[in-house]
Chains A and B, each alone.
Chain A
Amino acid sequence: MRRIKLSVNGVTYEHEVEPRLLLVHYLREGLNLTGTMVGCNTSNCGACTVLLNGQSVKSCTLFAVQADGHEITTVQGLQSNGEWHPMQTAFHENHGLQCGYCTPGMILASVSYLKENPNPNEEEIREALEGNYCRCTGYENIVKAVQQAAGQTS
């Protein structure tokens, strides 16, 4: 067992964890933050995407011990003062989700990307979301949502 101390959605936690505990399981089962899900187990699908120090990472391919000392943001940490993050609003308004299982990861990957490239074109958005699979929407409305959130409501 190993002691870790990290911040998740602005709250500091300290826990003893087994080194092999995956970050996604620490979040889901240790902290009950069930907005982060497992989809593929092979770092392809992105359902488990969270932000580590503000950058998107796949929490199924990260041990909880590797997050020691870092800041994690899950979808539950996106709201501020009860207000949705603009990306959450954009997904809702553009019907960028159906079953919703990929949605938290998709939203977080998009939030992360817009920090790197605030004014992406459609092709760049599609490439930036290459690591997040959605089986319901065909992606078109997801792309529109990200465009809206980026202030490009074209």
Chain B
Amino acid sequence: MKKVYTRPKTMKEAHFHYCPGCGHGIINRLLMEVVDEMGLRESAICVAPAGCGMLVYNYFDIDTLESAHGRGAAVATGIKRVRPDNLVFSYQGDGDLAAIGTAEGFHAANRGEPITVVFVNNGVYGMTGGQMAPTTLTEQVTTTTPNGRNPILAGHPVRICEVFSMLDGTAYLERVTVNKPAAVIKAKKAIKKAFQCQLDGKGFSLVEILSPCPTNWKMGPVEACRWIDEVMTKQFPLGLVKEVS
């Protein structure tokens, strides 16, 4: 019998702690599939965030450091400067990269640090219970925007890929999602390209992944996946934002 689906070799035998319908599990798996396929298990160093993604070191069988909230790109910079031959990537959420760690992400990108940021955008602070994130959509209800995000008081959803695309140090920026099989395949290709971009020393690479958070969106998993297509991608259009040849 032909085996068509199996656990990536670089994935530890552990159960995900993620909520049902959450995108993190798919993204974790994609990353380790790519690490396996590119033969990077012995090279990869991951910088884990604070937030729902912080426990990736329970699943990734690669060297992993847990950084302080928002500091992933600075920590990854330190690692990469010491070990330029390793694949160094940070795994960061929207609060992490687009709020508390904007400076670290922005300047690592501007310096063209050859690191990869895997940016999981689910529009809320997941682990702390669904508060407004910088990427929360206008009028979206969260626990800290009970009447919906009012841009006059709470600002507008931040498009990180577009902001970073203005920086000369960025080499590859793409926004993908994981809400259906075809999108998952595209997301995997983007991760692969980002890693390759780093290995080729082209500069800073980032893959923004729109990820469902049914628990904090107060939706069923199917409805959450549909909401990404119907609502979220209007603010955060999918596709390649920048690629330096």
- Do A and B truly interact? no
The interface of chain B, by Cβ under 8 A from chain A, is none
The interface of chain A, by Cβ under 8 A from chain B, is none
